[in-house]
Structure 1
Amino acid sequence: MGIPTEPIGSIPRPPALLAALSAHASGEIDDAELAARQDEAVADTIHRLELAGSPVLVDGEQSKPSFVTYPLDGLPGLSPDGAVIPFADGHTRRLPCLTSGPFGYQAHAVTYLRAARRHTALPVKQAVIAPSALSLLYPAAGVDGYPREKFLDDLAAEAEAEIRACLDAGAHVVQLDFTEGRLSLKLDPSGGVLDDFVALNNRVLERFGDDERARIGVHTCPGGDQDSTHSADVDYAGLLPKLFGLKAGNFYIQLAGEPDPERVLGIIADTLPPDVRVFVGVIDPIDPVVETAEQVRDRVLAAARHIPPERLGTCDDCGFSPFADDTSTSRDTAFAKIAARVEGTRLASESLGL
């Protein structure tokens, strides 16, 4: 069987879809026309992942406006002036802010999963946003008539329903995107915010049984937007022990872009709980140079010196285009990098006799 390998999620949108998004925003095309272009992009993404030899597929988030805000489209009671996320190159992303309740998802990831599965018989993984990220919508000043604890109750219920629907619809794995985990230590070095994030996510994950959690994973990275990061300067030593306290069966950890991957692998080896699998990043989406299969092989073999091969997997460090307007990496480059990951993981598996 060899070492498993999986994509993380987003893939740059094709030019036709980017043009359609622009035309839709200006009112030149309607919702149905945009949906048709999105489905074409999903079909092409699935096809190209199959050509790259990927054993597990994703829809590339072709129909999501972003990996974090997709459940919010059409939600009343939002203002645009929420939390600001600064990136190292100076650009920012801003979340909306909740102004009234109740809170509920307006779009659901299972819709994306079902659309993707229409185009393939291979396993399909579905990424969802972690509830901890959406907890940032609630303002520090509170919301009149809608206490924070009631918001968190509603959020946890929505997140549970989101994950459960994807599992029931046949997702190979449901992956919680938890990029805010590392960022929280930059905003609050004491770790209090991270503790709150972990507690909220576990409030959801603990509602699933062991067999279900074996099909649930958590992804962490320092962000990856417009070839920049928001928290790469935060030491993994502060994050990983608490990250592994999450009640999930799989962890997807950015590693290829780290300055000292051996040190991070040592931390993983020292803190990895039993009976979970860790997928290490062997592809850096921010680096414009396409890795060779041999480079990937060597990264996998280095990881196998710290992590038992039967508990090891590989992935990309991050999605290639977590926001729809991020065109910093070309679509062809993304697929070339994915093909290198697949082939390099195969080579490493052969070297390890798997």
Structure 2
Amino acid sequence: MNLPKHLLPTTVVGSYPQPDWLLDRAMLSKSVPRVRMQSMWRIPDAQLEEAQDDATIVAIRDMERAGIDIVTDGEIRRESYSNRFATALDGIDSDNPAIITSQSGLQTPVPRVVGPIKRTRPIELRDMEFLRRNTDRAAKITLPGPFTMSQQAKNEHYEDDEEMAMAFAAAVNAEARDLQKAGADVIQLDEPWVRNNPELARRYAVKAINRALEGITVTTVVHICFGYAAVVPGSTKPSGYSFLSELADSNAQQISIEAAQPRLDLGVLKDLSNKSILVGVLDLGDPEIEPVSVVADRIRNALKHVAPERLVVAPDCGMKYMPRATAFGKLKAMCDAAAKVRAEIG
């Protein structure tokens, strides 16, 4: 399968809402877990994989029905975008977590790095094989980025955090190579934490990203955002990125940004003229399904700053915290808006 040839292809950032029969969504709404939270799943272990498979097919079909060109597996098997991969690596102790306190005083249990980080087995390979078997559309799979994972763990082994981030990058790279062989058309690294510590990110985030993407020949994306709308209210989001232009030096062909909820001034994209851009045109903090006309205006605004052949249309962020009917309605409005603008530009 190859990527769609038409202008303004549509995609999702990664996650889609998990059904309430599969996962306790009230428990999910309280956090973005860094360690494993098996208690979140409603299905007994013996039947959990089959149940996750069934829910994944529902997510894929929803994306296809909405008109999405580049689909994902909805990250249905994950408690969060990063913890499933990070906690499956050797050298990680998530059974005895450390506690990290954020600037706002929020305490979060995080994995401790107690030995050399190594990927000893595939982690998302079956997810990618299942996705490839169940859609004939272009398929994207996401991985947590090495810088972000290094910021979500307590280093008790490496000389410094850069050495730890590069070890995470090697593990991500080994996984990405397997996902590429399994038929991924797009591989995306989620790196939202570059905004939390831009000074540290400037020192080694791009170096770690490039190590993670070494030898990957399919389309690659780096996604950055200000956090899930359900967890980080729009009123607290900045109006600009503290780490963005630096990604021009990354090996990723595409950069994915949140733009709708923070009302981002897209003039910042001039620094990324060598990249294709996934522009977020769905505000996931808005509980209403935006009218097609509103989403179309956001796409037209993006086209003032990005050539149509370099623009991919997407939501701001992952959709897992939203009601499923709302997520589907928003995706349908986005796909209809993309089709409308596509017709206008020929």
Correspondent of 1:172 among 176, 179, 185: 185
Kindly indicate which of the two structures has a greater share of residues assigned to strand: 2
Partner of 1:154: 167
**Aligned residue identity for 2:74:** G
d(CA) in 2 for partners of 1:340 and 1:162?
34
Name structure 2 gaps, 5 residues minimum: 1-5, 28-36
2:223–2:256 CA contact under 8 A, matched in 1:
yes
Alpha-carbon distance, 1:49 to partner: 1.2
- For normalisation by structure 1, the TM-score amounts to 0.83
Q: Whole-Å Cα distance in 1 between the matches of residues 233 and 206 of structure 2?
A: 22
Q: Which residue does the alignment assign to 1:104?
A: 119
2:195, 2:226 within 8 Å by CA — same for their partners in 1?
A: yes
Contact 1:85-1:94 at 8 Å conserved across structures: no
Query: Shift in Å at residue 266 of structure 1?
Result: 0.9
Shift of 1:178: 0.9
Q: Is the 8 A contact 1:128 1:176 kept in 2?
A: yes
User: Who is 2:277 aligned against?
Assistant: 278
Q: Structure 1, residues 48-101: CA drift from partner, whole Å, max 9, x if none?
A: 1111111121111110121011114455534322434567xx866443222334
| 8 Å contact kept, 1:72–1:105 | no
Q: Residue 72 of structure 2: which of 58, 61, 76 is its match?
A: 58
Q: Does the CA contact (< 8 Å) of 1:57 and 1:122 recur in 2?
A: yes
May I ask how many residue pairs the two structures share in their alignment? Answer: 328
Structure with the bigger RCO (C-alpha within 8 Å, sep 6+) is 1
Q: CA deviation at 1:225?
A: 5.3
RMSD of aligned alpha carbons: 2.9
1:72 touches 1:106 (CA, 8 Å); kept in 2?
no
Contact 1:2/1:346 (<8 A) preserved: no
Letter in 1 for 2:97: P
Summarize deviations over 1:308-353 as a string: whole Å, max 9, x none: 11111111100012xxxx4xx2011111111111111111111112
Relative distance call for 1:10 and 1:266 in structure 2 (3 A) is: same
Match of 1:95 in 2: 110
Tell me the residue number matched to 2:309.
Answer: 310
Post-superposition offset of 1:13 = 0.8
Q: Establish whether residue 68 from structure 1 lines up as the match of residue 82 from structure 2.
A: yes
CA distance in 2, matches of 1:232, 1:345: 29
State how far apart, in whole Å, the 2-side matches of 1:13 and 1:200 are. Answer: 31
Distance in 1 (CA, whole Å) between partners of 2:70 and 2:100 is 34
Q: Is contact 2:88-2:123 (8 Å) kept?
A: no
For residue 245 of structure 1, report the CA deviation from its aligned partner: 2.2
Letter in 2 for 1:48: D
TM-score, reference length from structure 2: 0.84
Distance change (3 Å), C-alpha of 1:330 and 1:13: same
- Structure 2 letter corresponding to 1:336: G
Contact 1:182 1:231 in 2 (8 A): no
2:268 is equivalent to residue 267 of structure 1: yes
Contiguous gaps of at least 5 residues in structure 1: 186-190
Which residue of 193, 214, 220 maps to 1:216?
220
**Residue 188 of structure 1 aligns with which residue?**
none
Per-residue deviation at 1:19? 5.2
* 1:337 aligned partner: 330
Which one-letter code corresponds to 2:215 in the other structure?
F
**Residues 64 and 27 of structure 1, relative CA distance in 2, 3 Å threshold:** closer
1:181 aligns with 2:194: yes
Distance in 2 between residues matched to 1:28 and 1:66, nearest whole Å: 16
Partner residue of 1:198?
206
Given that 1:5 and 1:314 are in contact with CA atoms closer than 8 Å, whether structure 2 keeps it comes out as: yes
Matched, 1:81 2:98: yes
Cα contact 1:71–1:105 (8 A) shared by 2: no
Q: Which moved more, 1:236-245 or 1:216-225?
A: 236-245
Contact 2:85-2:123 at 8 Å conserved across structures: yes
Q: What is the CA-CA distance between 1:294 and the residue it aligns to?
A: 1.2
Which residue does 2:149 correspond to in 1?
134
Q: Which residue of 1 aligns with 2:39?
A: 25
What letter is aligned with 1:6? T
CA distance in 1, matches of 2:195, 2:42: 40
Of 130-139 and 15-24, deviating more is 15-24
